[in-house]
């Protein structure tokens, strides 16, 4: 069927921000309020990783595309005590050092709330000017800084500005954007600028990895977990258009979609539907990372003598375009939905997101070659008591397969290994929720390694204290039927249905003629 929208490409970026772990992660800021002299706060700085350590960490290299999930699966667990070749640049994006990311915050600030110490700004501007995607024109924004460290400290001490540190040194501050509006406080402004900046970086890499003319992207959907607005519309948005502006997507409009961890999957279904309907020819789905979740499980990591592994701000972007007859297609006719009446038991959730849509499509659990649910890195979650999250999802899917008679009980582990993936994504809420595999899935489908993949987004709506409901949505991507037909490589399921319909019509005509 030529009408399906297709997955043209994806980008994934990380910014290594160890000082933000100390000063902006919710676990740490809360601890500083309730127990400022705690042993945890005293010990945490010794557990921060260097930039070089973050680069040589295999899950990070998988995230930006230099290594594959198979490489991670082949490594003995745990991963934090082993090193691989640490590359800044990857096939899908990069791992940006903290000083450059702080500079990017100012580039993305259009209301002059970011102030940087003059010497730091000059040094950082040179690095960003040499960046292949940022360049001298954008980096020139940093030339305006004239404040010394004493003035930056005064902003923090006297004007409630949020400090910015690099290597323990005060190098800047984010000012409040309003005197009394808590939605424009320095804390919120920093959170939102970090989210926007990481989204901008990913969008720029999306343009690079797909080769699309940035002016051809007509619509952008942001699906992060932050809220942008003021006291009269605290979550009004629009992160999508704000990031598109800095990334140079001059032909794009956009809006924000929210669904907690399931937000990206919702946004991708929206994007595919808009493209399939012909509303837009090219839609980018994007999301930046979250300062609040930096060091979220830090107490458990420090207690067990581990590095503070949650030290990176993640971002991703995905490009959905009209059918190009070669890229994997997004099957909008195979959509799983966690409805209001579904319930929250693990079995009910998996049935609604996995088996229900497969049943409607006449497919078995084993017809999906790879499932991508919550792709959290077990190196982070297991020490915190949450176990291996992806593996738990795969075991539930496999158990349903056994119950339905589609696999034998003795094949359960084999199914988990064959149809599952080893988690590699940072625990930034929405970031691990299905989408980290999209870049690899496109490669795997186009190379013939797999035929189908299911992306599963799950979310916890009860966190907002508006409902106790769970949430989730899933979709299937598979090989492009147009490409297969043009290459003579076979006939698609849709074409088979069309041929049957044509034959029946011809038969009816002949019967009536008799």
Closest CA to 20 of 112, 123, 96: 96
CB 244 within 8 A of CB 256: no
Q: Which residues pair with 453 in a beta bridge?
A: 370, 477
In three-state secondary structure terms, 478 is strand
Q: Tell me the per-residue pLDDT of 373-422, one tens digit each, with 9 for 90 and over.
A: 999 999 999 999 999 999 999 999 999 999 999 999 999 999 999 999 99
**How many angstroms from the chain centroid is the CA of residue 43?**
30
State the Cα–Cα distance between residues 84 and 72, nearest whole angstrom. Answer: 11
For residue 238, whether the previous peptide bond is cis, meaning omega lies within 30 degrees of 0, is: yes
Residue 485 has pLDDT above 70, yes or no: no
Q: List, in order of start, the domains of the chain with CATH numbers.
A: 329-496 (3.40.47)
Greater confidence, 502 or 212? 212
State the Cα–Cα distance between residues 294 and 310, nearest whole angstrom. Answer: 5
pLDDT band (50, 70, 90) for residue 488:
very low
Closest CA to 15 of 193, 240, 198, 206: 198
pLDDT band (50, 70, 90) for residue 428:
confident
Tokens read off for 381: 């979650």
Instruction: Say which residue the tokens 């696999």 belong to.
Output: 407
Instruction: Say which residue the tokens 């939102």 belong to.
Output: 192
Tokens read off for 466: 């508006």
| pLDDT score of 429 | 87
| pLDDT score of 487 | 44
**For the chain, how big is the Rg over CA atoms in Å?**
24
Contacts of 6 (CB under 8 A, 6+ apart): 320, 321, 322, 323, 324, 326, 327, 328, 329, 330, 480
Greater confidence, 184 or 514? 184
Q: For the whole model, what pTM was predicted?
A: 0.93
Residue 484 has pLDDT above 50, yes or no: no
């Amino acid at each position: 069927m030529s009408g399906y929208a297709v997955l043209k490409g994806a980008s994934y970026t990380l910014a290594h921000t160890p000082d933000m772990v100390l000063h902006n992660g919710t676990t740490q800021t809360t601890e500083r309020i309730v127990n400022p002299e705690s042993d945890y706060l005293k010990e945490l700085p010794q557990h921060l990783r260097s930039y070089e350590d973050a680069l040589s960490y295999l899950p990070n290299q998988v995230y930006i595309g230099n290594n594959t999930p198979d490489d991670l699966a082949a490594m003995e667990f745990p991963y934090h005590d082993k090193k691989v070749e640490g590359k800044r640049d990857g096939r899908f994006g990069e791992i940006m050092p903290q000083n450059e990311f702080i500079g990017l915050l100012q580039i993305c600030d259009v209301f002059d709330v970011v102030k940087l110490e003059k010497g730091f700004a000059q040094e950082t501007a040179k690095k960003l000017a040499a960046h292949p995607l940022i360049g001298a024109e954008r980096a020139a924004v940093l030339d305006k800084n004239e404040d010394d460290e004493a003035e930056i400290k005064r902003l923090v001490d006297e004007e409630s500005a949020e400090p910015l540190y690099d290597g323990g040194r005060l190098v800047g501050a984010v000012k409040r954007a309003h005197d009394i509006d808590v939605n424009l406080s320095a804390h919120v402004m920093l959170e939102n600028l970090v989210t926007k900046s990481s989204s901008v970086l990913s969008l720029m890499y999306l343009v690079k990895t797909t080769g699309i003319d940035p002016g051809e992207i007509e619509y952008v959907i942001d699906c992060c977990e932050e809220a942008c607005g003021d006291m009269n519309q605290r979550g009004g948005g629009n992160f999508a258009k704000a990031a598109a502006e800095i990334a140079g997507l001059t032909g794009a409009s956009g809006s924000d979609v929210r669904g907690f961890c399931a937000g990206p999957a919702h946004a991708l279904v929206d994007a595919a539907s808009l493209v399939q309907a012909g509303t837009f020819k090219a839609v980018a789905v994007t999301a930046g990372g979250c300062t609040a979740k930096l060091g979220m499980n830090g107490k458990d990591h420090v207690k067990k003598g581990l590095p503070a592994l949650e030290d990176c701000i993640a971002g991703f972007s995905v490009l959905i375009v009209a059918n190009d007859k070669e890229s994997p297609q997004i099957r909008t006719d195979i959509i799983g939905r966690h409805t209001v009446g579904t319930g929250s038991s693990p079995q009910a959730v998996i049935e609604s997101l996995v088996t229900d849509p497969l049943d409607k499509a006449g497919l078995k659990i084993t017809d999906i070659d790879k499932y991508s649910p919550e792709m959290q890195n077990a190196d982070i979650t297991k020490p915190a008591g949450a176990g291996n999250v992806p593996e738990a999802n795969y075991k539930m899917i496999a158990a349903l397969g056994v119950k339905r008679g589609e696999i034998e009980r003795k094949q359960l582990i084999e199914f988990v290994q064959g149809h599952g993936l080893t988690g590699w994504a940072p625990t930034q809420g929405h970031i691990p929720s299905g989408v980290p595999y999209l870049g690899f899935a496109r490669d795997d489908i186009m190379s013939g390694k797999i035929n189908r993949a299911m992306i599963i987004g799950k979310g916890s709506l009860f966190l907002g204290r508006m409902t106790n409901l769970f949430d989730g949505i899933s979709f299937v991507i598979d090989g492009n039927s147009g490409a297969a037909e043009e290459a003579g490589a076979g006939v698609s399921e849709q074409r088979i249905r069309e041929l049957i319909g044509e034959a029946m019509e011809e038969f009816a005509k002949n019967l009536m003629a008799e």
